[in-house]
Amino acid sequence: MSNNLNLDGCDLVKLALKYGTPLYVFSQGMIERRCREIKEQFLNRHEGSHAYYASKAFLTLAMCQIIEKEGLGLDVVSGGELHLALKASFPAERIVLHGNNKLRQEIEMAVESGVGRIVVDWEGEIDIIDEVSKIKGQKTPILLRVTPEVKAMTHKYIQTGHRGSKFGIPLERIPYVVKKTISLSNVELKGFHFHLGSQIDDYRTYLEAVDVITKLMSDLREGLGYTTEELDIGGGFGIGNGEGSLTKPISYFTDPAMERIKARCLTFGLPLPSVAIEPGRWITGEAGITLYTVGAIKEIPGSCTYVSVDGGMADNIRPALYGARYRAEVANKMGRDKDKIVTVAGRCCESGDILIEDLPVPGDIEPGDILAVFNTGAYSYSMASNYNMLPKPAVVFVDKGEDILVVERETYDDLVVKQRGIRSALRV
Ligand code: LLP
């Protein structure tokens, strides 16, 4: 019996040998199970509801195919994400376009392809959508993103619903914007959207925002006779770290939110809007593992032991950017006593490129070992860079003992393919 770490029937050490490291490995089954939980616990239980996977968390053609097959929608935030989704033949009507500064060209792309909704983030955007839609002879369904002035308890960099956020239309401007929007002929105002932030682990944060938004809906109905048909409460549903904290079921967030929406609508005498959610991390975060090969090991007396791996902040910026904490195992030495504490360092030329501090590992950890870092399925690959001219790792999906390469590893040539020398330096 091998002592190697296994994911969905695949030996991760063998995968590291087969594809090289660093390597992103995803459990397809876990992604599908998360989608099904959303269907069973949210979509099937609430008429007219929608769930859009926030593709910024992790987007590849294969991922789009899974989301399509599972019947969810897709949230995209740029022309690039939209392009990829359309390349994967994702149905445009199931796509919602976000962005706090959408380019006109992106709006044109969205209108032309017939995306289901555009979520407007600032007042001027409405005129652009209206004009573009008029040229194309269409009426575009939109939502207005509202800043509900709710501060989520999460890292400052990933709070988005507080007063002063760069996202959304300030609350007090909404009545003017609604009035203007409903007078336009090429946009159709379906309702409102808020997104409070990411890695939120308390459902009460959503309730605070629901209270604000339903009051707004009531005021708009009274003041302008405008009835909200749709309410999109965004994403941000947190995941556990695999140790002390566990990932909560989606219903932990959605049940109380739905109850509160229903109760408030009843109180205000409002018709119940159809409700949408936009989970990203909750779907892919735990499904991904990053594999690295251990290289340099430095024991610094009186300080710490650095175990360096062949990746780092270029394939996972989250520890450096948000102080994110990860759990890891030496994949080829499972089940042994962990009698050594090490600091896992990346290979980028930055002292801040530390992936994990104080990680217990087997005392005989050595160069060539395979380190598996858990819960890296969201915002690792999608935020990867080529810093230090490091090629981006490959992405492999595993499912019931089979592995499939869904993104090839970049080559050194890929890194220079778009570059040109300067004319004066060319020797002819
Ligand atoms: N909807 C909107 C409008 C969003 O802006 C986001 C994330 C989501 C949904 C999905 O949020 P999730 O369910 O994945 O938390 N790079 C950061 C996260 C930034 C999230 C940006 N917006 C990180 O690595 O933690």
Residues catalogued as catalytic: 349
The Cβ of residue 164 has, within 10 Å, a number of other Cβ atoms equal to 9
Name the one residue in this structure whose structure tokens are 């959605």. 254
Ligand 1 midpoint to CA 392 (Å): 22
Annotated binding site for pyridoxal 5'-phosphate: 236, 278-281, 379
- For residue 249, what are the CA distances in angstroms to 53, 124, 378, 403? 16, 38, 17, 28
H or E stretch at 176: helix 174-182
Does the pLDDT of residue 424 top 80, yes or no? no
Closest atom, ligand 1, to C-alpha of 198: 15
Give yes or no for residue 318 CB within 6 A of ligand 1.
yes
Give yes or no for residue 192 CB within 6 A of ligand 1.
no
Give yes or no for residue 201 CB within 6 A of ligand 1.
no
Annotated binding site: 236, 278-281, 318, 322, 350, 379
pLDDT for 370? 98
Reply yes or no: is the peptide bond before residue 393 cis, omega within 30 of 0: no
Ligand 1 midpoint to CA 57 (Å): 7
Cβ proximity of 223 and 176 under 8 Å: no
Domain ranges of the chain: 6-23+285-416, 27-284
Give yes or no for residue 194 CB within 6 A of ligand 1.
no
pLDDT, tens digit (0-9, with 9 covering 90-100), for 213-222:
999 999 999 9
Two tokens, residue 292: 């690295």
The Cβ of residue 175 has, within 10 Å, a number of other Cβ atoms equal to 15
Integer Cα distance of 369 and 357 in angstroms: 18
Q: At the topology level of CATH, where does 6-23+285-416 sit?
A: Lyase, Ornithine Decarboxylase; Chain A, domain 1 (2.40.37)
H or E stretch at 120: strand 117-120
pLDDT, tens digit (0-9, with 9 covering 90-100), for 242-288:
677 789 999 999 999 999 999 999 999 999 999 999 999 999 999 99
Superfamily name and number for 27-284: Alanine racemase (3.20.20.10)
Ligand 1 midpoint to CA 154 (Å): 12
The pTM of the full predicted model, rounded to 2 decimals, is 0.97
Per-residue pLDDT band for 131 (boundaries 50, 70, 90) equals very high
Ligand 1 midpoint to CA 159 (Å): 9
pLDDT, tens digit (0-9, with 9 covering 90-100), for 276-325:
999 999 999 999 999 999 999 999 999 999 999 999 999 999 999 999 99
Task: Specify the range with the lowest mean pLDDT, choosing from 10-14, 144-148, 156-160.
Answer: 156-160
| Main-chain dihedrals φ then ψ at residue 272, nearest 5 degrees | -70, 125
Give yes or no for residue 195 CB within 6 A of ligand 1.
yes
pLDDT for 241? 77
Over residues 161-166, mean pLDDT: 87
Two tokens, residue 259: 């109850």
Does the pLDDT of residue 360 top 60, yes or no? yes
